[in-house]
Amino acid sequence: MRTNEQPALMTRQANEGGRVMPIDAPLAFEPYDFVAAVHRHPDHPDRAVVYLIPSHVAATEMKRLQKAWIEADSSHDRDNRIFLIRFDDAPARGGWHHHYGYGAKWAEYRIGDVELALTPQPLEETGETPEQLIERHRQEIADAMGVLPEAVEISVRIGYEDRDGRVRSAFIR
């Protein structure tokens, strides 16, 4: 799962050799049982909101919304394979805004809020290597979810610039 600091679940459909895949082709997270959507709490910037959605539910809905978006307006790019669901609590709206309102619609998948460590302890102070830190968190997630650590995949990308030149960080997958 990749976030752009918006309350959204967004994924891009893979293409094969530059060929655009059909909308019904599998999304990257479909082989897994669940996909997590995590974003900052709108009223508490020191907290994150966490959803754990069955992958088949998220994929089916994202594909349905993408088809509806393309059919809603002939000017929409038929080759656009960025799938999006927004978790803000705005009611679902017609037109291209049909992907809003999933905070309320998928409330049953909200597993709670978590406190964010806004001032993380530097690795030099913990004595951990980046690999050890990731492995520790992988074990914690596995324990919380009741799965083996091998079932948890964590990828990290830190310090990229957005289009406006602001440095951002992202959790990927």
Which pLDDT score is estimated for 28? Answer: 82
How much is the average pLDDT of 3-32? 75
How much is the average pLDDT of 80-92? 72
Average pLDDT, the chain: 75
Which pLDDT score is estimated for 136? Answer: 84
Q: DSSP assignment of 14-47, as one string?
A: --BTTBPPPTTSPPTTTTSSEEEEEEE-SS-TTE
Pinpoint the alpha helices (H) of 38-158.
55-72, 102-105, 123-126, 130-145
Higher-pLDDT residue of 96 and 13 is 13
Task: Give residue 5's pLDDT band: very low, low, confident or very high (50, 70, 90).
Answer: low
Any idea where the domains of the chain sit in the sequence? 1-117, 120-173
CB-based burial label for 98 (10 Å; 0-12, 13-18, 19+): middle
pLDDT cut 70: percent of the chain above it: 66
Instruction: Indicate if the pLDDT at residue 54 is higher than 90.
Output: yes
Task: Give residue 60's pLDDT band: very low, low, confident or very high (50, 70, 90).
Answer: very high
How much is the average pLDDT of 56-77? 83
